[in-house]
């Protein structure tokens, strides 16, 4: 009985922390799973001044369609797993594992759709820009 109560308590704490972390991230209005920043570095060299680089993993649940959004900084996408269909500034593009995609700053990314009904799709996204600029802004509804 003690083990069961302890397991329930541990799971409850974990779920509370996870829910709070997802709730505080402002970008979770775009995909079901909040983007995961896996690398951040400030660049301050003679050639590149005060720019921040971010690598972000974006995961799409099976069949998921993202909400409309913009990236105020240059964006490069690499498809790690699965295939997606993306609509950026009115142009529809299909991407599969190993494909890349460029997004100009502030363009309207109407949606991205995971084409698989039963497998997730994962993207590695590279951002570079001013540190104070967010990498993702959900489009107002």
> Using 50, 70 and 90 to split pLDDT, how confident is the model at 28?
low
Strand 83-88 relative to strand 51-60, pairing: unpaired
Q: What is the mean pLDDT of the chain?
A: 82
> Using 50, 70 and 90 to split pLDDT, how confident is the model at 50?
confident
* Four-way CATH pick for 29-138: 3.30.9.10, 2.60.120.10, 3.40.1130.10, 2.40.50.430: 2.60.120.10
pTM comes to 0.72
Q: Which of 105, 109, 107 is nearest to 123 (CA)?
A: 109
């Amino acid at each position: 009985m003690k083990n069961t109560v302890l397991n329930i308590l541990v799971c409850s704490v974990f779920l509370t922390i996870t829910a709070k972390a997802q709730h505080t991230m402002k970008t979770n209005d775009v995909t079901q799973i909040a983007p995961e920043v896996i690398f951040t570095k400030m660049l301050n060299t003679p050639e590149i001044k005060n720019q921040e680089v971010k690598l972000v993993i974006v995961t799409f649940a099976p069949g998921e369609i993202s909400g409309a959004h913009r990236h105020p900084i240059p964006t490069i996408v690499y498809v790690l797993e699965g295939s997606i269909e993306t609509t950026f500034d009115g142009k529809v593009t299909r991407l599969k594992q190993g494909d890349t995609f460029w997004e100009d700053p502030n363009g309207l990314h109407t949606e991205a759709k995971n084409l698989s009904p039963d497998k997730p799709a994962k993207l590695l996204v590279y951002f570079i820009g001013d540190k104070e600029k967010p990498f993702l802004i959900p489009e107002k509804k």
